[in-house]
Amino acid sequence: MSQLPPPSPQQREHEEPHENNGALPWYVAALVIALLLFGIVYLWRTTISTPPEWGDGRTVAELQGPSGDAAGGIDGGGIFSARCAACHQATGAGLPGVFPPLAGSEWVQGDSQTLAAAVLHGIQGQLTVKGQVYSGVMPSFAAQLSDAEMAAVLTHIRKSWGNHAAPIGVDVVARVRKATATRTEAYQGEAELHQLKLTP
């Protein structure tokens, strides 16, 4: 039996594939239309700001943080954590001999204007808190905190850790800021703070 010659390349090749021009199957068209309709109805029915009860159950007020503080909606506790807790500690207990406590402090729960003035401009020098004498440097916050933020953080420290003092309103802070506007340095400890006469 004689061997056949190898087929020519044209014979070995398969035919080039080509698209049939058959119509789109009806079920594919139906699926596309169904998905389209679903999308339209879904978007049409969706509320952009869904009511909180559809989500995790928290209310708008809870998401905005505690607004029990005097300064409507500003989170005094948050400001305390960010600005004050590094020195006075999250517990408000301070560090013995270095940073005085705010918990149970007569300054925190005392005259609201003196407190506002002290935190606005800072304190430097001898200061007695709960019978302990401190002699450190408390920075000024006049440039960092607005009147509303100051009112919120002062109200927070007057109500935390067992403290029970009346809230401090934005008006009080604004008045003290205005009355002490020319001041550029910290109060010289209790000697100066005790003599403050801010009440108009």
CB 119 within 8 A of CB 150: yes
108 vs 76: CA distance, rounded Å: 14
Q: Does 141 bind ligand HEC (CB under 6 A)?
A: yes
Backbone angles phi, psi at 102, to 5 degrees: -100, -30
C-alpha to C-alpha distances, 197 to 170, 174, 179, 193, nearest whole angstrom? 19, 16, 10, 9
Q: Which of 116, 120, 123, 170 binds ligand HEC (CB under 6 A)?
A: 123
Q: Which is nearer to ligand HEC, 67 or 160 (CB)?
A: 160
Stretch that binds ligand HEC, among 31-39, 113-121, 162-170, 177-185 (CB under 6 A): 113-121
Q: Which is nearer to ligand HEC, 161 or 179 (CB)?
A: 161
CB 103 within 8 A of CB 96: no
Residue located via tokens 């500690």 = 89
Contact positions with ligand HEC (CB under 6 A) in 48-87: 83-84, 86-87
Stretch that binds ligand HEC, among 26-34, 57-65, 68-76, 120-128 (CB under 6 A): 120-128
Q: Does 129 bind ligand HEC (CB under 6 A)?
A: yes
Q: Which of 112, 113, 114, 124 binds ligand HEC (CB under 6 A)?
A: 124
Q: Does 107 bind ligand HEC (CB under 6 A)?
A: yes
Q: Which is nearer to ligand HEC, 52 or 122 (CB)?
A: 122
Minimum distance from residue 144 beta carbon to ligand HEC (Å): 8
List own/partner pairs for 32-39 with CB under 8 A and 24 or more apart: none
Largest CA distance in the chain: 128
